[in-house]
Amino acid sequence: MSSVLFKNIRVLTMDAADSEHLAADVLVEGSTIAAIGEDLAPGHATRVIDGRGKLLMPGLINGHFHSPGNFNKGALDDMPLELFMLYEVPPFDCPPVSARLNYVRTLLGAAEMLKSGVTAVHDDPFYVPVVSMDLIDAGMKAYADSGIRATVSINMPNVVEYEKYPFLYDLLPEEFRQKMRDSPPLPTSELLTLYRDFIARWHRTNQGLLRVSVSCSAPQRVKVDYLQGLSDLSAEFDLPYNMHLLETRLQRVLGNQLYGKSLVRYVHDHGVLTGRAMVIHAIWVDEHDMDLMADSDCSIAHNPLCNLKLGSGIMPFRQLTSRGINICLGSDEMCSDDAVNLWSVAKLAGLVHKIAETDYRKWPQSQEVLRCATSNAARAMRIEREVGSIEAGKQADLIVIDLDTLAFTPLNDLRRQLVFCENGSSVRVVMVAGRIVVEDGKLLSIDEQLLKAEVRELMEEYRAQYKSVDHWAHTLEPIYRRMYERCLQEEVHLRRNCVP
C-alpha cells in the first residue's frame, strides 16, 4: 500500500469545527487520510511532499454538470433556456453520437476539472435522441480512466416535446406537432429497467469512485409513473435524485398553467421531494416553495454562472440558507458556462447575491462559499462520510495550493483570497482517493495532448451531424420565442431579475 506524507503544510480542513492548522503533517495511506498532526514519521515506502509555503485543502466538488455539453463551449449564442435548448437537445431529427465521441467528450471535461482542483463531479448527462448502455458505458469508462470521483445519472425525458411547455401546442403548426409525435419517448418500464442495469454495472465500482444517481431532468419532462419510479429507485439504493426546478420564469408560468401549482409543490404532492432530492437552480421559488424544500431536507445545486448567461435570474440565496437548506455549487454544462472552472463559480456566488440583497450583513461569506464548493456538495451527493473535509478516516481527495503566487501575494485573508483571487492556476497537486492525478500542472492519468488531438478530429464529425439540428432549431426558434414572450405577459408575483 502506497503512502504520501505532506510535511509542514498549512491545512484548511473544512470540518464541522472549521479547524485550520498553520503548519501540520498529513499522512495518507492507500486511499485514506490516516493522520493529521505534527512530526509524523514517514514509513519505509512513503513519498514525502514538502508543504512549506503551500496549502492543503479538500478537493472542490462540482455539484451539477452535464458532460454532453463538453464540445459546445463558446458554440451557442446567449438566449433564454427554452430557446437555448433547441440547439442542444432538439426535439427531432437529431443524429446519435458514437460511443467513442461520448467517451472523449466526457474525458475532456474530467481533464479540465482535475487540472483546476475538482476531485468529484455530479454529472447529469442527457442523451439525444435516445439513451443506450453503450453510451452510458463510454461515459463511465472515461471517468474511470481519468481518476476523478463521479456520480452519474441518466437524464432522459419521456414526454412529447410540446407537453414540456406552456402555450407551445397551440403555437405550433400541425406539421411540427406531428414531427414531435413521430419522435416517441421511451416508455417508463424500459427506462427503469435501464436504470437497474446501470446500477448493477457501475454503482460503487472503480474502488467506490463511481456511483449512480437518478434524474427526472425536470418533473414536467417526464410521466408521473417515471417521476415516482425514480424516487423508488432513489430510496432503494440511497441515490441522489436530480430534478431541475423553477430555473426560469417560464417554468413558474408552466406550473400554474399545467398543474395549477408551482413545480416545487407538484413534486412535493407526488411524494418525491425528499432528503435525497438534488434540486437544481431553484430561482423562481416563492416563500411556500422554500418552506417545502426546508421541510424535505433536500439540497440545492446553485449554478450562478449559468443562471446569468441564460438570463434565468438570481437565486434567493439567503432566504434559502436561513431556512437551513443545504446549498452546493455547480458549473452546469460547458455551453451554458463556457468553462468548467469551479473557482469562477465560487467567486460569482460570492458576488452576485450582493445586488439582490440590500442588507450587507446577509451577503454570502467566503467560508460559506467554500463550504458550498466542498462539504455541502459532498452532503448533497450523499458522500459526506467519505469526502468534503480533511479528517482522519476519510478518503484522501485533496489539493495542494501554492501560496507563493500572485493570487496570494500579499496574503491577507486566506478564505477571501481563495474565493475572490484564485482561478485554479495555483493548484499544484490533485489527489483522488490517495492517488496523485495532477502534479505541477500536468495530468498524470490522461495524455492531454493525445486527448486534444482526438477532440479536434471528432469535432469535424460532430459539426457535420449538427447541421440538420441547426436547421430545425432556426426554424422553430420564432415559435419558441412567441411562447417565451407570451409567458412574459403572465403575472408571477416574483422578482428574480433586474428587469423593471
- Over the stretch 344-384, which tens digit does the pLDDT of each residue have? 999 999 999 999 999 999 999 999 999 999 999 999 999 99
- Contact, 136 vs 195, CB < 8 A? no
Domain locations in the chain as residue ranges: 58-391
**Half-sphere exposure in the Cβ direction for 258 (13 Å, CA):** 22
- Distance between CA 3 and CA 14 in Å, rounded? 22
Q: 155 with 242: CB under 8 angstroms? A: yes
State the cell numbers at 334.
Answer: 460547458
Check residue 374 and give its pLDDT.
98
Cis-peptide, bond into residue 304, ω within 30° of zero: no
**pLDDT tens profile 125-157:** 999 899 999 999 999 999 999 999 999 999 999
The rounded distance, in Å, linking the Cα atoms of 86 and 476 is 8
Query: Dihedral through CA 221, CA 231, CA 66, CA 203, nearest 10?
Result: -150
How many residues can be counted in the chain? 500
Residues 35-94 pLDDT 10s: 999 999 887 778 999 999 999 999 999 999 999 999 999 988 899 999 999 988 888 878
Looking at domain 58-391, its CATH class is alpha beta
pLDDT, residue 338, reads 86
The Cα–Cα gap between 151 and 147 comes to: 13
- pLDDT tens per residue across span 160-181: 999 999 999 999 999 999 999 9
Instruction: Read off the pLDDT band of 95 (50, 70, 90).
Output: confident
Task: For residue 392, give the 3-state DSSP assignment.
Answer: coil
pLDDT, residue 460, reads: 87
CA separation (Å) from 446 to 104, 252, 450? 11, 43, 9
What rounded mean pLDDT belongs to the chain? 96
